[in-house]
Amino acid sequence: MNKFFTSIIATIVAFSVNAQSLYFPPTIGNTWDTIAPQSLGYCQSKIDSLYAFLDTNNTKAFILLKDGMIVLEKYFGTHTQSSVWQWASAGKTITSFMVGIAQQEGHLSINDTTSSYLGQGWTDCTTMQEEKITIRHQLMMTSGLDDGVADPYCTLDSCLIYKADAGIRWAYHNAPYTLLDGVIENATGQTLNSYTTQKLKTPTGMTGTFVPVGYNNVFFSNARSMARFGLLILNNGNWNGNQILTDTTYFNQMTTTSQPLNKSYGYLWWLNGKQSFMIPSSQIVFPGYIIPNAPPDMISAMGKGGQFLNVIPSQNMVWVRMGNEPVNSLVPFLLNDDIWEYINDLQCNSTGIDNQDFQNDFIKLFPNPSNDILNLKSANQILKVEVFNLKGQVVKFLNTQNKEISISISELQKGLYLVKAILDNGKVWTNKLIIE
């Protein structure tokens, strides 16, 4: 059976499974029901391969939930079930959730200007420019403030410089996001940690805390707390019958495309299955899914170092990964995609459902990994090839009119890259490239 029909059958089965009720662990204690991996058709040898890959790539913790129950839970090195680790930018999704709580309680509206809570002059913009920035713009990463300043984490007014009117430019900019903490605190009259504990952590059994790190507020917790948050999101903000986020309009806006510029971004959540995506430190719009090997309905919290919280409604699945990453990138989405290759292959009778093949099989790229020459072969003429680093910078390009081309990449540093090709039939192709 070919991969396309295998994927369709898997999706149908997944949707039927999703109709089942979810299990929720008690909010007190360490009890958490499990499912034997073998009962889902997982092969131990393939689980071992997944764990070996995770270990090789500096993973500290990995948990996979199915129907709310733990299927896989693995800790590496000295990391244990109780060990605490940073969420990095994956913690942005907690802030997004808490903004929704604050709105449903009447403390704020996301259409309010940010200056209503931070005061006038919180940026270096003119009053007219600053007054165009709303809480919604902070959630969407469309504040219009310049992300190219010397320190994009700096929250001082002198660092928050006008680049464009709010709402017309998407840029992954940490400083305006971080200032949502002050918006929440000034709107609710509580500290961010106090409000999060009362409204989110206590009702779900989560632990963890926001810790100031430089200009940032970084959330730290154990891996199970991240999994609890994922389970809450999987159930649309409802924890075992307790509807924590009752503002369904906000929840839907949070987890769907929030603006037309980066279709793969909601309110601080990354969205798979969209026709294009943007990445941090770049204004380039790439065609295709941001995580090609993952199901198209997946929503993700992703942070530096490979902090991942993936929620897949069609499969009633949540998985988390904490650790470090060999490649330094703000949002290491390529590592997320690599892990999905192993998850897709866990079934004993699986040949690997590779969603990326559906989008990218009209060009063959080889060898990959490579360290010298990169070859591309297509049934159509290739008009242009560009190689991007993880900052979105073009590091190699070639204009051509051939079906088979070779590009020297020997001068490029080791790491992960994106290859983009334009064909004579108008199609645009992308794929990842590993240079060793």
pLDDT, tens digit (0-9, with 9 covering 90-100), for 171-197: 999 999 999 999 999 999 999 999 999
Indicate whether 219 and 124 sit together in one domain: yes
Q: Residue 372 sits in which domain range?
A: 362-435
CA–CA distance, 134 with 112 (Å, rounded to integer): 5
Do 282 and 389 touch, CB atoms closer than 8 A? no
pTM (two decimals): 0.84
More confident residue, 6 or 149: 149
Indicate whether 200 and 53 sit together in one domain: yes
Strands 85-86 and 69-75, sheet pairing: unpaired
Question: Please, which pLDDT band fits residue 349 given cuts at 50, 70 and 90?
Answer: confident
User: Can you list the alpha helix ranges (DSSP code H) found in 289-418?
Assistant: 333-343, 355-360
Per-residue model confidence (pLDDT) at position 334: 85
Structure tokens at 118: 């931070």
Final residue of a structural domain among 342, 360, 378: 360
Per-residue model confidence (pLDDT) at position 169: 98
C-alpha closest to that of 97 among 310, 363, 301: 301
Per-residue pLDDT tens for 211-238?
999 999 999 999 999 999 999 999 999 9
Indicate whether 275 and 137 sit together in one domain: yes
Per-residue model confidence (pLDDT) at position 10: 41
CA–CA distance, 32 with 26 (Å, rounded to integer): 7
Longest dimension (CA), the chain: 64
- The residues, ordered by sequence, that sit 6+ positions from 332 with a Cβ below 8 Å of its Cβ are 302, 304, 305, 306, 325, 390
List the end-to-end C-alpha distance of the chain, in Å, as a whole number. 34
Question: Please, which pLDDT band fits residue 267 given cuts at 50, 70 and 90?
Answer: very high
Per-residue model confidence (pLDDT) at position 20: 52
Indicate whether 250 and 336 sit together in one domain: yes
**CB neighbours of residue 121 within 10 Å:** 11
Sheet strands side by side (includes 270-271): 69-75, 59-66, 317-323, 307-312, 299-303, 270-271
User: Can you list the alpha helix ranges (DSSP code H) found in 152-198?
Assistant: 174-178, 180-188, 192-196
**CB neighbours of residue 191 within 10 Å:** 13
Do 114 and 183 touch, CB atoms closer than 8 A? yes
CATH number at residue 329: 3.40.710.10
Number of domains in the chain: 2
Indicate whether 301 and 328 sit together in one domain: yes
Indicate whether 145 and 107 sit together in one domain: yes
Indicate whether 279 and 421 sit together in one domain: no
Question: Please, which pLDDT band fits residue 426 given cuts at 50, 70 and 90?
Answer: confident
Final residue of a structural domain among 317, 344, 360: 360
Per-residue pLDDT tens for 110-144?
999 999 999 999 999 999 999 999 999 999 999 99
**CB neighbours of residue 303 within 10 Å:** 23
Final residue of a structural domain among 344, 360, 376: 360
Indicate whether 397 and 263 sit together in one domain: no
Indicate whether 17 and 60 sit together in one domain: yes
Q: Where are the beta strands (DSSP E) in 26-110?
A: 59-66, 69-75, 85-86
- The residues, ordered by sequence, that sit 6+ positions from 260 with a Cβ below 8 Å of its Cβ are none
Indicate whether 383 and 241 sit together in one domain: no
Per-residue model confidence (pLDDT) at position 2: 38
Mean pLDDT of 84-105: 99
Per-residue model confidence (pLDDT) at position 293: 93
Element (H, E) at 128: helix 127-130
Mean pLDDT of 301-314: 97
Indicate whether 135 and 265 sit together in one domain: yes
Indicate whether 197 and 224 sit together in one domain: yes
Mean pLDDT of 27-36: 96
Per-residue model confidence (pLDDT) at position 138: 99
Per-residue model confidence (pLDDT) at position 413: 87
Q: What percent of the chain has pLDDT over 90?
A: 76
CA–CA distance, 361 with 431 (Å, rounded to integer): 10
CATH number at residue 378: 2.60.40.1220
Mean pLDDT of 359-385: 84
